[in-house]
Amino acid sequence: MMAADEWYIYYGRDGEVIPPGVTRVRIHESLTVIRAEAFYGNRNIEEVACHDRVKTVEEYSFAGCPSLRKVIMPGVEVIEQCAFNSCEALAHIECGKLEIIGVGAFETCQSLKSINLPSVKIVERSAFTVCKALTNIKFGKELEIIRYRAFWLCTSLERIAIPLKDGIIADDGIFMGCRKLKHVELVEKAVLRDTIAALLLEEWRNDMNEEINAINQSLPTTPAGSDDFYDVGEKTEAVQLWIKSVLHKIVRYKAQHHSLLNEAATTLQRALPNDIVNKNVLPFLELPSYTFEERIRRGRRRGIGRRGGGNERLRPS
C-alpha cells in the first residue's frame, strides 16, 4: 500500500510482495519484527524506516539489497544473522537501542563509513567482515564481547571506541587485515581522567597516563596480518594485553592509594578531634566511584568466546 508521501507501507503479510519500482519502505505500526528474508534480494529499495516498536530484524531480512542506502530503526534491539549481508550501498544506519549484532549481520556493506552503537552488548563473529569503507566505529559502556573476525578485512578502519573491560576482545582474529587501525579510545576516558588525577603520587599518575596512551603509540606499527585466513596479525592481541595492563595498574594504584590514605587517617585520628576527622579527613578517603575490579571479575567469569568461520554467504535463490 502506497502512502500519500510515496512511501510503501509494509504490513508483513504472508506472501506480501513489494511492487516493482518502490524505493522507500515504512514498516507498519502493527509490526514488532521484520521477519526472515522479508526483503531478500530486492534490487530497488533505497530507504527503510521503522517505528520504535520494531525490536528484531530477523536473518537475511535485507540481504542482497544492493540499492539500500539508509535504514532508520530506533527501537531495534536484535539484528540477526546476515540481516544486511551484501547491502553494498548501505551508508547510513540509526540504531540507538541495538544490543545484539548477529553473525555476518553487516558483512560486505562496502559503503558503510562510520557507525555509532551506544547500546550494543554482543558483536558476533564476522559482523562487519569486508566493510572496506568503515573508518570509525563507536561502542558504548554496555559492550560485553566482540567475537572472532568481527572486523576482518575492514581495510580502512582507523578508530574504535570501546569500554575498559577484560575479556571484551574475545578472540585473536578480530582485527585481521585492519592495517590502518591506529587509535583505540576508551569510553570511560572522563572517569579515568578523574580517577588518575586523584591518585596521591605524581609517579603513579604519570605511569597511568603513559599506559593509557601506549596503545596508540604502538598500534600503528603493529602487524595486522594479511588476507590469508590463518594470518591473524598482532593488533588484536595488542589491544587485549593493553586492556589487561591498564585495568591491573589502576586497581593496583587505587589499592596503594587507599592504603596510604588509611595510614594517614589513622595518624590524624590520634592527633585531631573527631569532628575535624569526620568533616575534613574521611571525605578524602575515596577515589571517584568506578569499579575497575568488577570489570576484571566479570571478564574472567565470561571467559573466551567461541571461534567460528563466519563464511556465511547469500542463500541461493
Average pLDDT over residues 80-87: 98
Instruction: Identify the CATH number of the domain in which residue 45 sits.
Output: 3.80.10
State the CB neighbour count (10 A cutoff) for residue 186: 17
Domain that residue 104 falls in: 8-248
Q: Which residue has the higher pLDDT, 198 or 273?
A: 198
Are residues 128 and 106 in contact, defined by beta-carbon separation less than 8 angstroms? yes
Could you tell me what percent of the chain has a pLDDT over 90?
69
b/e for 252-288, b at 16 or more Cβ within 10 A? ebbeebeeebeeebeeeeeeeeeeeeeeeeeeeeebe
pLDDT in tens, 225-271: 876 667 788 999 999 999 999 999 999 998 888 888 777 667 766 66
Q: Does residue 309 carry a pLDDT above 60?
A: no
Could you tell me what percent of the chain has a pLDDT over 70?
81
Which pLDDT score is estimated for 67?
98
Are residues 170 and 229 in contact, defined by beta-carbon separation less than 8 angstroms? no
Q: Does residue 273 carry a pLDDT above 80?
A: no
Q: Does residue 102 carry a pLDDT above 80?
A: yes
Which pLDDT score is estimated for 269?
62
Tally of structural domains, the chain: 1
Q: How far is CA 14 from CA 7, 40, 91, in A?
A: 20, 15, 30
Q: How much is the pTM?
A: 0.85
Q: Is residue 314 part of a domain?
A: no
pLDDT band of 177, cuts 50, 70, 90 = very high
Q: Is residue 42 part of a domain?
A: yes
Q: Is residue 220 part of a domain?
A: yes
Q: Is residue 278 part of a domain?
A: no
Q: Is residue 187 part of a domain?
A: yes
Grid coordinates belonging to 256: 596503594
Which pLDDT score is estimated for 198?
85
pLDDT in tens, 144-155: 999 999 999 999
Residue found by looking up cell 603520587 in the block: 201
Which pLDDT score is estimated for 313?
41
| 3-state SS, residue 161 | strand
Q: Is residue 311 part of a domain?
A: no
Which pLDDT score is estimated for 73?
98
Q: Is residue 254 part of a domain?
A: no
Give the whole-angstrom CA distance, residue 245 versus residue 208: 10
Which pLDDT score is estimated for 306?
41
Q: Is residue 137 part of a domain?
A: yes
pLDDT band of 23, cuts 50, 70, 90 = very high
Nearest to 65 by CA among 43, 96, 98, 85: 43
